[in-house]
A and B are shown apart, each in its own frame.
Chain A
Amino acid sequence: NAGVTQTPKFQVLKTGQSMTLQCAQDMNHEYMSWYRQDPGMGLRLIHYSVGAGITDQGEVPNGYNVSRSTTEDFPLRLLSAAPSQTSVYFCASTPGQNTDTQYFGPGTRLTVL
């Protein structure tokens, strides 16, 4: 199994541009999440999904959209990037509700100029 994969690893955007961060897992996990990591703030939950077709907001959802059309994929969309979205983004998955371990992808480092 490849586990949780994320693309791209690095991305530079101009303010106002849009892009999609890709996340995929091949472990048949039901739950998937997106976090952003900022210095001195730890990881904060952006959006999460409890299964295909179901998504919900986390702690910091503004400026981001998600969809979950398949169990494997959970893309994160920035419709109009802002410098405040400069961060490292991590995708994570867990097998199912009340499963204790989250599996993290390697991260995407995004810079918005």
Chain B
Amino acid sequence: AQSVTQLDSQVPVFEEAPVELRCNYSSSVSVYLFWYVQYPNQGLQLLLKYLSGSTLVESINGFEAEFNKSQTSFHLRKPSVHISDTAEYFCAVSPFYNTDKLIFGTGTRLQVFP
């Protein structure tokens, strides 16, 4: 079985500051890792994913995440946040053989202040 831990339920940050949202997982098999974003009153959207290959993956809006197998982590980072990044961010994991049964973390609410 897989599990995901997002230790920070809320992360307040000022605009243009860097941010890191932490995600750790546990699994007895190889996994795929995802970050989903939920803007206010909307459904979830895929932000980025790690399936294989390069351990550093990037999104189109400046976020990046690095898969660290030894530390079982997949932290999300952005060097300079914008007000529009205010949202809830969910880390998710699936076993490599079945990506249809995602296991989600409890979410981290990123609040960007001017």
Closest chain B CB from A3 CB (angstroms): 9
- Size of interface on A: residues with Cβ below 8 Å to B: 26
Closest residue to A94 on the B side, CB-wise?
B100
Instruction: Show 8 residue pairs from A and B whose CB-CB distance is below 8 angstroms, ordered by the A residue.
Output: A4-B43, A40-B106, A90-B44, A99-B99, A100-B34, A100-B99, A104-B45, A106-B43
Verify if A62 is at the interface (C-beta below 8 Å from B). no
Stretch among A13-21, A41-49, A64-72, A75-83 lining the B interface: A41-49
Verify if A31 is at the interface (C-beta below 8 Å from B). yes
Verify if B32 is at the interface (C-beta below 8 Å from A). yes
Closest chain A CB from B72 CB (angstroms): 18
Q: Which residues of B contact A (CB under 8 A)?
A: 4, 6, 9, 32, 34, 36, 42-46, 49, 51, 90, 97-102, 104-107
* Docked CA distance A19–B91 (Å): 31
Docked-complex contact B43 and A97, CB < 8 angstroms = no
Closest chain B CB from A37 CB (angstroms): 9
Docked-complex contact A101 and B46, CB < 8 angstroms = yes
* Docked CA distance A45–B102 (Å): 8
Contacts A90-B43, A100-B49, A107-B43; A48 near B106 (Cβ below 8 A): no
Contacts A104-B44, A104-B45, A106-B43; A41 near B101 (Cβ below 8 A): no
Verify if A58 is at the interface (C-beta below 8 Å from B). yes
Chain A contacts for B97, CB-based, 8 A: 98
